[in-house]
């Protein structure tokens, strides 16, 4: 593993309201790739990954947001924090390193339309 390679956890968020998500861990991720490249890699991997329910494999993920950094504070929100979107949502053309991603960062991968809807009415239903 080179100095630019890290371990990331990507939380695939299928539903904010139902707190339906699955974490997937990736080792040896290069911080020099763009956010867009990582998103494409994860989409390809998830589509082929065994053990994931079909709804997670076919979902329209289009946005990544930093949930948690190693040795940082965690949010009380169970799925993803609704705060600091301007700082924590990753720009597709940015490299992971420039976007603030480091070793053991946890990212949420979700559909922006679902996130916006949930943000206007952040109520969880069980």
Domain with 81 in it: what CATH number?
3.10.20.90
* Domain, as residue range, for 37: 5-120
List, in sequence order, every residue forming a beta bridge with 108; answer none if it has no partner.
Answer: 11, 65
Over the stretch 64-121, which tens digit does the pLDDT of each residue have? 999 977 655 555 555 677 788 999 999 999 999 999 999 999 999 999 999 999 989 8
- Half-sphere exposure for 17 (CA within 13 Å, toward CB): 8
Over the stretch 12-70, which tens digit does the pLDDT of each residue have? 999 988 889 999 999 999 999 999 999 999 999 999 999 999 999 989 999 999 997 76
Domain assignment present for 15: yes
Based on the structure, what is the number of domains in the chain?
Answer: 1
Residue 6's H or E segment, with its range, is: strand 5-15
The answer, as to whether pTM is greater than 0.85, is yes
Q: Between β-strands 5-15 and 106-110, what pairing exists: parallel, antiparallel or unpaired?
A: parallel
Domain assignment present for 126: no
């Amino acid at each position: 593993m080179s100095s630019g390679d890290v371990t990331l956890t990507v939380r695939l968020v299928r539903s904010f309201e139902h707190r339906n998500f699955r974490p997937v861990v990736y080792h040896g991720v290069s911080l020099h790739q763009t956010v867009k490249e990582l998103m494409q890699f994860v989409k390809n991997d998830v589509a082929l990954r065994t053990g994931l329910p079909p709804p997670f494999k076919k979902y329209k993920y289009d946005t990544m947001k930093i949930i948690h950094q190693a040795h940082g504070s965690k949010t009380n929100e169970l799925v993803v924090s609704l705060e600091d979107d301007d700082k924590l949502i990753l720009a597709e053309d940015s490299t992971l390193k420039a976007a603030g991603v480091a070793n053991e960062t946890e990212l949420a991968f979700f559909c922006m339309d679902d996130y916006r809807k949930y943000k206007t009415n952040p109520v969880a239903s069980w």
